[in-house]
Amino acid sequence: MEQSPLKSGALHRARAGRIITYVLLTLWALIVLFPFYWMILSSVKSTAAYNAELTPSFFTLRPTMENYLAAFSSEDTPLGSYLLNTLLYTVLTTALMMLIIIPAAFAFARLKFRGKNLLFTLFLSLMMIPSELVIITNFATVATLHLNDGPAGSAVRLFLGLILPSATSVFYIYLLKENFEGIPEELYKAAKVDGTSDLKYLLKVMLPISRPTVVTIVILKVIECWNAYVWPRLITVHEKNFLVSNGIQAIRESGSGRANVPAMMAAVVVVSVPLIVLFLVFRDKIMAGVSRGGTKG
Amino acid sequence: MDNRNAKAWLYLLPALLFLGVFMIYPLVDVVVYSLEENYNSVQAFYTGVGLENFSHVLRDPYFLQAVKNTFILVVITVPVSTGLALLISLGLSSIQPLRRLYQTVYFLPYVTNTLAVGLVFMLLFQYNDSQVGLFNLLIRLFGGSPVDFIDGPYWAKMTVMCLYTVWVVMPFKILILTSALASVPQSYYNAAKVDGTSKGRIFARITLPMISPMIFYLIITGFIGAFKAYSDEVALFGVNLNEAGMNTIVGYVYDMLYSNGGSYPSYASAAALILFAIVLTITVINLMVSKKTVHY
Q: Which CATH class is domain A76-259?
A: mainly alpha
Interface probe for B, chosen from A19, A21, A25 (most Cβ of B below 10 Å), is A25
pLDDT of the residue at B68: 96
- Of A4-13, A67-76, B256-265, the one with minimum mean pLDDT is A4-13
CA distance A222 to A220: 5
- A57 contacts on B by Cβ (under 8 Å): none
**Contact across the interface for A132 and B131, Cβ inside 8 Å:** no
**Distance between CA atoms of residues A81 and A76, nearest Å:** 11
| Residue pair A276/B113 in contact by the 8 Å Cβ criterion | no
Structural domains in chain B (count): 1
| B4, part of any domain | no
CB of A23 less than 8 A from some CB of B = no
**Selection from B234, B196, B231, B223 nearest residue B278 by Cα:** B223
With a CB cutoff of 8 Å and minimum separation 6, the contacts of B26 are A133, A134, A135, A136, A137, A138, A141
Q: Is residue B228 part of a domain?
A: yes
**CATH of residue B90:** 1.10.3720.10
Is the predicted pLDDT of residue A91 greater than 70, yes or no? yes
* Structure confidence by residue, pLDDT tens digits, A189-203: 888 888 888 889 999
Q: For residue A7, what pLDDT band results from cuts at 50, 70 and 90?
A: low
% pLDDT > 70, chain B: 95
Spans of all domains in chain A: 5-68, 76-259
Please work out, in degrees rounded to the nearest 5, the angle formed at the alpha carbon of residue B219 by the alpha carbons of B213 and B224.
Answer: 130
Q: Is residue B28 part of a domain?
A: no
Structural domain includes residue B39: no
Which of A26-35, A261-270, B30-39 is predicted with the least confidence, judged by mean pLDDT?
Answer: B30-39
User: Domain containing B124: what range?
Assistant: 52-293
Does residue B38 sit within a domain? no
- Over range A109-134, report the average pLDDT: 88
Measured CA to CA in angstroms, residue B61 lies from A94, B56, B67, B68, B70 at distances of 40, 10, 10, 10, 14
Give the phi and the psi of residue A166 in degrees, each rounded to 5: -110, 20
Distance between CA atoms of residues A237 and A210, nearest Å:
40
Give pLDDT, residue A296. 46
> CB distance B276–A119 less than 8 Å?
no
Q: What is the dihedral of CA A17, A22, A28, A30, to 10 degrees?
A: -150
Query: Is residue B212 a part of any domain in this protein?
Result: yes
ipTM: 0.89
Judge: A227–B114 Cβ closer than 8 Å, yes or no.
yes
Q: What angle is formed at CA A213 by the lines to CA B22 and CA B101, rounded to 5 degrees?
A: 110
Per-residue pLDDT for B288 more than 90?
A: no
Q: According to the model, what pLDDT value does residue A232 have? A: 92
Residue B92 lies in a domain: yes
pLDDT tens digits, one per residue of A207-247: 999 998 999 999 999 999 999 999 998 888 888 889 999 99
B141 part of a folded domain = yes
**Spacing of C-alpha A273 from chain mean position:** 12
Residues of A in contact with B27 (CB under 8 A): 129, 133-134
Q: Which of A47, A50, A133, A264 to mutate to test the interface with B (most CBs of B within 10 A)?
A: A133
